[in-house]
Amino acid sequence: MLSLKCLRSGLALLAVMAGLVQAQPLQPPEIAGRNYLLIDLNADQVLAERDADARVDPASLTKLMTAYVVFEAIKAKKLTLEQTLPVSLRAWAERKGGGSLMFIDPKMKPKVDELLRGMIAVSGNDAAVALAEGVAGSVDAFVGMMNRQAQAWGLKNTQFKNVTGLDEAGHYSSARDIATMAAHIIRDHPDSFATYYSIRQYTFNHIKQDNRNLLLGRDPTVDGMKTGYTDEAGYCLVATAQREFPNGKRRLLSVVLGTASREARASESQKLLNWGYTAWDAVRLFEGDKPALKVPVWKGQQSEAQLGAAKPLFVAVPHGEGDKLKTVVERTDPLVAPLAQGQRVGTLKVTTAAGALVTAVPLVVQRAVPEAGLFGRAWDSLRLWIK
By annotation, the residues acting in catalysis are 60, 63, 123
Q: Which 8-state DSSP code applies to residue 174? A: -
> Quick one: which of 331, 339, 272, 357 has its CA closest to 301?
339
Contact 174, 255 (CB under 8 A): no
**Helix 125-136 to helix 63-75 angle, to the nearest 10 degrees?**
40
Residue 324 to residues 26, 27, 273, 281, Cα–Cα distance (Å): 16, 20, 24, 12
> Helix, strand or coil for residue 384?
helix
Q: Pseudo-torsion of CA 130, 133, 135, 140, nearest 10°? A: 130
Q: Identify the three-state secondary structure at position 363.
A: strand
Q: How far apart are CA 184 and CA 186, in angstroms?
A: 5
Among 56, 93, 5, 7, CA closest to 292: 7
* Residue 366 φ/ψ, nearest 5 degrees: -95, -20
Residues in CB range of 286: below 8 A, 6 or more apart: 292, 308, 309, 312, 313, 348
Return d(Cα 157, Cα 340) in angstroms, integer: 38
CA-CA distance, 346 to 307, in Å (whole number)?
A: 9
Cβ distance 94 to 178 under 8 Å?
Answer: no
